[in-house]
Amino acid sequence: MRPGAKFILIASLIGIVVGSYGMFERLAYGLNPVAFGSYVPWGLWVSFYLLFLGLSAGAFLVTTLVYVFGMKRLETLAPLSAFTVLVCLLCEGLFILLDLGTVSRAFYQFFLSPSFTSLLTWMLVLFSAMGVIYALKTYLLVRGGDRGTVKLLSWISMPVGLLFYGTNGAFFAILANRPLWNSSLTPLLFIVAALLSGGALITFLSYTFHKDKGSSACIGTATCIDLGQVLKYLLILFLALEVMQFSVGYVSAKPNLVAVLNYIAAGPSWWVFWIVHLLLGSLIPLAMLFFSGRDPKKVALAAFLIVITFVAVRYDFVVPEFSVYPLDGLQSAFVHPRLSTVYSPNLNEWLVSVWIISLGLLAFMLGVSRIPVLTQSNGGKDHE
């Protein structure tokens, strides 16, 4: 095991220990320790849920490029990307379950009395379908020799994946009293954002896990460069959609929508949008992909920046929408710490987030070290 892998393993174990106190508080006291409340019902955990939702799209992107666009060179990433999806699904499932409140009630409602007119039910159905498909794909790709079934599962995963990411976007888009979300652009933004962040994760992993593996280093380098070109255009498309979202919002002159956009651009968390998202997560990676797109190390660094800063995109999508009171005078009708639109994640929310992310890192590193998800060619194992 490389020193870097050992460091990540140790860091993830430390994160689990440190975050355990937050998890204990959450399980023992429910949602009482958190900072969000009645007027801001979703916060950091939903932002991380959306982040991991997008990261799970990495395998979807690889599948599309290999089986639709014929980029066979990316087939070497199939086992790694499929396993990455399983880890991301684990993390996003934990984040959203802990945010729901009473976890047992959620399972009871969904499994014993599902409502198929509800998008939440379909989100669970598609989430479960993604889990089954990628568990089977991971098993078959690791075992090798069953290319036909893998290809069939890959074709099935494409409409399921699009529906999964689009349905999550539609869940927000149908909320008529939330002007930023209530747009036909929202499902498209979700799909593009998922492909961008998930593709960036797979690009970074392809370079990281192949750069020191002898003959497969050439494969990792070429794959990283190919994915870097895809990332470049996905990032341009995503930024163009954001420009459309802001320009249409300001031109519409709807007071609540303009207030939300102003909160994103000039509110207390303005730096999340301008510095973390636009500068570190968009402009710098875009410049690196344009001017150093043939350098795999620079491409991997650009992908890494996109991944670690993408939570800012999700945070700016979720939290600012609650910054505006839906009714005039509501802020003075009732006064209570939980009846406020001012929100900042507290220690409990950060500790729980650290615990879940550390668990995901631990599961990923143990999986990579113990099962052959790294291949030199389809069905050929190159495992340490």
Assigned domain for 231 exists: yes
Assigned domain for 354 exists: no
- In the chain, the number of structural domains is 1
Which residue, among 281, 364, 347, has the nearest Cα to 18 in the 3D structure? 347
Determine the pLDDT at residue 46.
96
User: What confidence tens digit (pLDDT) does each residue in 125-184 have?
Assistant: 999 999 999 999 989 888 876 778 888 888 898 899 889 999 999 999 999 889 999 998
Assigned domain for 46 exists: yes
Assigned domain for 314 exists: yes
CATH number at residue 141: 1.20.1630.10
Assigned domain for 4 exists: no
Distance CA 376, CA 384 (A): 13
Q: Six-digit token pair at 221? A: 């380098």
Determine the pLDDT at residue 189.
93
User: What confidence tens digit (pLDDT) does each residue in 25-55 have?
Assistant: 999 999 899 998 888 899 999 999 999 999 9
**Helix 119-143 and helix 78-100: axis angle, to 10°?**
150
Determine the pLDDT at residue 194.
92
Which residue, among 89, 106, 35, 9, has the nearest Cα to 367 in the 3D structure? 9
User: What single-letter DSSP state applies at residue 377?
Assistant: E
Assigned domain for 373 exists: no
Distance CA 217, CA 351 (A): 37
Determine the pLDDT at residue 297.
92
Q: Given the structure tokens 């409409």, which residue do they identify?
A: 159
> Which parts of the chain have pLDDT scores under 70?
1-3, 106-107, 145, 210-220, 373-384
Assigned domain for 242 exists: yes
* Domain extent for 167: 35-345
CB 81 within 8 A of CB 95: no
Determine the pLDDT at residue 339.
82
Assigned domain for 365 exists: no
Distance CA 12, CA 358 (A): 4
